[in-house]
Amino acid sequence: MTYTASDFKKGQPRWCPGCGDHFFLASLHKAMAEIGVEPCNNAVISGIGCSSRLPHYMATYGMNTIHGRAAAIATGCKIANPALTVWQISGDGDGLAIGGNHFIHANRRNINLNIILLNNRIYGLTKGQYSPTSPRGFVSKSSPYGTVEDPFRPAELCFGARGHFFARTVATDGKHTVEVLKAANAHKGTAVTEVLQNCVIFNDGTHASVYNNAGRAENAIYVEHGKPLIFGKDREYGLVQEGFGLKVVKIGENGVTEADILVHDAHCEDNTLQLKLALMGNGDGFPIALGVIRDVDAPTYDDSVVAQIEEVKAAKKYHNFAELLETNDIWEVK
């Protein structure tokens, strides 16, 4: 059956005008329609926060859970009904602060979930406190003189927890977001997608360098497996390896040709270069990497649990309660 985005829409979103959540919701509707899993076989699970209202606007199964527990509920949902396609929606606070432990263990276990991390570097729902991804020195209601903490970098946390899929996109880049969501869904295992977005009320412009087409042309690199790491408005720059790091070069200068440019390998089990790509773009002279950065096959937790249950059942002498009773001595009382 063919679906359209409207088949997955429900209700009237209640977010501030211009909020990145609106852009992402539209992309998720389109991606689900293109993926083609019927609405009743999708479940959208969230925690608490502005972005966590999203299940209310989906014509699928959904659950708005408690703060930080989206991954735990999503895990139970997937184990109880492996046939469901499960999407977890979390903000940077919900997902990486109170929900941080669940986030790393979902990655470690490699549960077949699509984890969406909507990162605006602020607590928006509670009116503007700094979050685990806010940069050092960030002034907010809870850090009036600037935070004295270094932030989490979601890719680093994902990779450190032995994550097998990590992608990044920008909420306003609708076409690219749809393609990334489709790739995340196609991956079997925990698929983390970081979505960069602005909070127009409390942290507007936090991702300004890549929030429009012109900014992305100047400050981003779209990575694609098997393609050279080339970027720039005229595709005039590229990435090469220098020692244990990366280096930006200009194609055509100093004898550099396209053949010298690194080719992206998202499927490489060793995540060294993938992590370097994922951490670029923090005022270091490198572009921000967008696209599927890591995509590696590995056994999934839910498949392993089901296989273990079947293995144990096959070795047992009983398969239901009546057979269990008959494994013991039986006598008849008259």
C-alpha Rg value of the chain to the nearest Å: 23
Segment 229-238, tens digit of pLDDT? 999 999 999 9
Distance, CA of 285 to CA of 252 (rounded, Å):
19
The alpha carbon dihedral of 223, 228, 234, 240 has a sign of positive
**Strand 165-170 versus strand 288-295 pairing type:** antiparallel
pLDDT, position 259 = 96
- The model's pLDDT over 128-176, given as tens digits with 9 standing for 90+, comes to 999 999 999 999 999 999 999 999 999 999 999 999 999 999 999 999 9
pLDDT digits (tens, 9 = 90+) for 175-229: 999 999 999 999 999 999 999 999 999 999 999 999 999 999 999 999 999 999 9
pTM: 0.94
Angle at 74 between CA 70 and CA 77, to 5 degrees: 145
Two structure tokens written together for 269: 């089990």
